[in-house]
């Protein structure tokens, strides 16, 4: 069974300490295969179907596996409404630096796909100034990656009335098929997201990438994955379109595709 940790992260002196729930599975002694790092989606947690399946596979293969919940998600502390892309990226980097040793494969689902690419850029910058200071990336598997979703898939699609509510009240509750209470979309989330947009330029993750995308995805259209793929400048990228796949890609056959993609690395 993976070991559970509650880790207090001090991101910087200007922000309060956050308690982040982390589950770590150690790899088999002497095994040099890359470890796995799960990066979940918007309002999801590390106990979801895909995350648990990944951890089970890691156990069977003797591979290391790291899962955690962003602040405001799952078992971690914090209010979801305080969350932003930048905040969750900072937490991802802090967890990665504290727990990852040796080459790693980032597995990012939906928003986690965006976080994965941002994290890769941070890791590359750290290794440029201090070589071998952080664990290198061996590959990346992105599931319906929602890169730039706060702007391209939310703000650009919102009606003037919704935009006005967000600007004036600071939050709008977006109806969701996954949560009857809806998702709070805050002004902070939208404004911070603009500081992390990636689709306006070229992307260099520094490792091979495999994207899994459902054609029937109502949340992240498959053409969004094509736009993302066109932004990769030099690294090897494979895109697998699942004709009858939805956004979650959590069916048994989808899990098989996920694990096969991870096994490639």
Active site residues: 110, 217, 247
Beta bridge partners of 60: none
Backbone angles phi, psi at 98, to 5 degrees: -80, -35
CA distances, 200 to each of 111, 133, 151, 203 (Å): 18, 29, 12, 9
CA distance 121 to 86: 13
What count of other Cβ atoms lies within 10 Å of the Cβ of residue 159?
A: 8
CA distances, 171 to each of 71, 74, 148 (Å): 18, 21, 19
CA distances, 136 to each of 27, 57, 90, 110, 247 (Å): 16, 22, 17, 22, 29
Do the beta carbons of residue 118 and residue 196 sit within 8 Å?
yes
Do the beta carbons of residue 205 and residue 232 sit within 8 Å?
yes
CA distance 65 to 21: 14
Strand bridging mode 104-109 / 35-39: parallel
Angle between helices 49-61 and 252-263 (to 10 degrees): 50
């Amino acid at each position: 069974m993976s070991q559970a940790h509650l880790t207090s992260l001090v991101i910087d002196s200007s922000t309060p300490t956050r308690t982040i729930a982390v589950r770590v599975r150690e790899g088999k002694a002497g095994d040099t295969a890359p470890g796995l790092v799960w990066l979940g989606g918007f309002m999801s947690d590390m106990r979801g179907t895909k995350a648990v399946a990944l951890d089970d596979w890691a156990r069977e293969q003797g591979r290391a596996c790291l899962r955690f919940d962003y602040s405001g998600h799952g078992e971690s502390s914090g209010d979801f409404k305080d969350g932003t892309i930048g905040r969750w990226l900072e937490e991802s980097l802090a967890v990665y630096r504290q727990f990852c040793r040796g080459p790693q494969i980032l597995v990012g689902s939906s928003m986690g796909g965006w976080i994965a690419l941002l994290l890769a850029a941070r890791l590359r910058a750290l290794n440029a100034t201090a070589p071998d200071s952080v664990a290198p990336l061996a590959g990346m598997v992105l599931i319906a990656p929602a890169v730039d979703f706060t702007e391209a898939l939310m703000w650009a699609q919102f009606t003037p009335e919704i935009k006005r509510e967000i600007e004036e009240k600071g939050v709008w509750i977006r109806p969701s098929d996954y949560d009857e209470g809806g998702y709070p979309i805050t002004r902070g989330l939208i404004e911070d997201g603009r500081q992390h947009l990636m689709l306006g330029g070229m992307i260099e993750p520094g490792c091979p990438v495999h994207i899994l995308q459902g054609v029937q995805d109502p949340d992240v259209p498959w053409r969004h994955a094509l736009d993302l793929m066109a932004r990769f400048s030099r690294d090897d990228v494979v895109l697998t379109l699942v004709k009858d796949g939805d956004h979650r890609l959590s069916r048994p056959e989808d899990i098989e595709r996920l694990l096969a993609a991870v096994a490639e690395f």
